[in-house]
């Protein structure tokens, strides 16, 4: 098992942002030809990460943000005493590594859940260019703000939802993001284990499994290992904001 590549696989940049099919996901839109060309300067290179390998680790020096081209990542923080928490799952078109900016070193691990490829964007180059290209500056700010808002949502989930509400919200979020990328609205393949889902949702893996089973019993989803088919999206949405309304 190659858990990690001692010398990460790098390759010279061949495909430019200007004609990348994921551009509208990770780059600003509505740019003029000239500005678009300049964006190509941002991506220094590509880097491949094998399943199970890490893009970066807690404590490593921060130099670059990464735009995911293909594959699927999780980010997780850990305490000295072995406790750890998945803080997010990232897929193609999403930006990863923002945590490293504040202290010039990363504060979480980014692990590939399937073979992945990322665009390496040196942060000093991003800062330099965003001083000249206003649209890029705005875009960087929005990406960071979006991450803050996303985490607010996770805090709401972790702080005030029951297990079934958490899992329902998780599935809806995942399938919605996949749909944006051209996948089905109702079918998805989970790239993470039950334990990783549980860590993200603040639940134990058994609870995740049980909750899946309950959804199956209720005819809301069909589950076959990591293949999930959402049969009744409306029911999931009802669960998310049910608040277990009593009285």
**Per-residue contact string for residues 227-246; x = within reach of DNA by CB under 7 A:** -------------------x
Binding site for its own copies (CB under 8 A): 77, 79-85, 87, 98-103, 107-108, 127, 130-132, 134, 137-138, 140-149, 151-156, 158-161, 199-202, 241-243, 245
Closest distance of CB 206 from its own copies, Å: 15
**Can you tell me the distance from the alpha carbon of 66 to that of 93, in angstroms, rounded to the nearest whole number?**
10
Please check whether residue 107 is in contact with residue 52, taking contact to mean a CB–CB distance below 8 angstroms. no
The total of other beta-carbon atoms located within 10 Å of residue 202's CB is 16
Rg of the chain over all Cα atoms, to the nearest angstrom:
19
100 binds, among DNA, its own copies, none (CB under 5 to 8 A by kind): its own copies
Q: Which is nearer to DNA, 59 or 153 (CB)?
A: 153
Stretch near DNA under the rule CB under 7 A, chosen from 65-73, 80-88, 120-128, 198-206 = 198-206
Q: Which is nearer to DNA, 66 or 170 (CB)?
A: 170
**Could you say which residues in the range 152-171 bind DNA, by CB under 7 A?**
162-164
Q: Which is nearer to DNA, 137 or 193 (CB)?
A: 193
Closest distance of CB 103 from DNA, Å: 30
134 binds, among its own copies, DNA, none (CB under 5 to 8 A by kind): its own copies
Q: Which of 183, 209, 232, 235 binds DNA (CB under 7 A)?
A: 209
Q: Which is nearer to DNA, 123 or 200 (CB)?
A: 200
Q: Residues in the site for DNA, rule: CB under 7 A?
A: 162-164, 190, 193-195, 202-210, 212-213, 223-226, 246
């Amino acid at each position: 098992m190659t858990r990690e590549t001692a010398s990460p696989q790098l390759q010279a940049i061949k495909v430019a942002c200007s004609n990348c099919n994921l551009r509208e996901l990770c780059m600003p839109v509505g740019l003029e030809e000239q500005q678009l060309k300049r964006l190509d300067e941002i991506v220094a290179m590509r880097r491949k990460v094998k399943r199970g390998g890490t893009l970066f680790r807690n404590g490593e020096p921060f130099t670059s943000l990464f735009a995911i081209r293909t594959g699927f990542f999780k980010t997780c923080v850990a305490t000295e005493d072995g406790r750890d928490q998945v803080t997010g799952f990232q897929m193609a078109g999403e930006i990863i590594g923002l945590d490293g900016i504040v202290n010039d070193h990363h504060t979480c691990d980014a692990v590939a859940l399937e073979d992945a490829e990322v665009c390496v964007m040196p942060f000093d180059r991003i800062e330099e260019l965003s001083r000249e290209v206003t649209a890029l500056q705005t875009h960087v700010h929005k990406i960071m703000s979006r991450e803050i808002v996303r985490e607010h949502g996770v805090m709401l989930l972790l702080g005030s939802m029951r297990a079934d509400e958490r899992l329902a919200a998780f599935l809806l979020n995942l399938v919605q993001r996949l749909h944006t990328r051209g996948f089905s609205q109702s079918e998805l393949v989970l790239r993470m284990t039950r334990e990783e889902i549980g860590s993200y949702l603040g639940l134990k893996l058994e609870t995740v499994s049980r909750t899946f089973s309950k959804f199956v019993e209720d005819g809301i989803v069909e589950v076959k290992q990591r293949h999930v088919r959402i049969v009744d999206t409306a029911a999931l949405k009802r669960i998310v904001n049910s608040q277990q309304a009593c009285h």
